Structure formats: structure tokens, C-alpha cells
Amino acid sequence: MAVQAIARRHDIAPWRRRFQGVAVEGTIGEEKLLLFLPGTFMNESGRAVAEAVHFYKLSLGDIVVFHDELDLPPAKLRVKTGGGNAGHNGLRSISAH
């Protein structure tokens, strides 16, 4: 929902089927970006993310992953760089790929 809200707020459209999911390219300010929603099962999301990363030749520092966190109350956000996957199967899959 957060990624879709970013696209709406910055009038980035249209979404297209790509990389085993849906993606949209746009800009925010001077920054070009790709917003991507994997269409695979969560525990296989790394396959879809890897396709986009390889196609665009992205480095790890270019990737931002939004994911759910049951330990946070609704509408709260935590931002972190690096670290483990804390048992989250989607993060585990992305790290593995």
C-alpha cells in the first residue's frame, strides 16, 4: 500500500506487468525511480526483485524494500539500513537472490 501511495502522490503511472510483478517508472524531484510490486508469493519475492535488479543493473544501495512488521503498531514506520531478515520470509528470499 505504501508503494502504491507513493505512485499516486507523485502521479507516477501507468503500472505495467514486468519482472513477475507490476512496475512503474517515474521521477520524484531529480531522482529517477522504479516502483515495483512482486506478483510472486511473498516467500518467493526475491526471484521477481532479482529480475528487476539485473535488468536495471542496480546496486544494493539502490534498493529500498517496504515490508510489513507485526511488532509495530498500525501507521508506524521504522527505517533501517542493513541488518538481518528477522525471520521474514520475503526478506530472506530477497537477500538470497
Coil vs helix vs strand at 35:
strand
User: What pLDDT sits at residue 97?
Assistant: 81
Summary mean pLDDT of the chain: 87
Could you give all domains of the chain from N- to C-terminal order, each with its CATH number?
Answer: 2-96 (3.40.50.1470)
pLDDT tens digits, residue range 26-53? 999 999 999 999 999 888 898 999 999 9
86 pLDDT tier (thresholds 50, 70, 90): low
Cα–Cα distance between 49 and 9 in angstroms, integer? 23
**Of 47, 51, 43, 42, which is closest to residue 34 (Cα–Cα)?**
51
| Beta strands per DSSP E along 1-97 | 16-18, 21-28, 31-38
- pLDDT(79) > 80: no
State pTM to two decimals.
Answer: 0.80
pLDDT tens digits, residue range 11-26? 999 999 999 999 999 9
Cα–Cα distance between 4 and 41 in angstroms, integer? 18
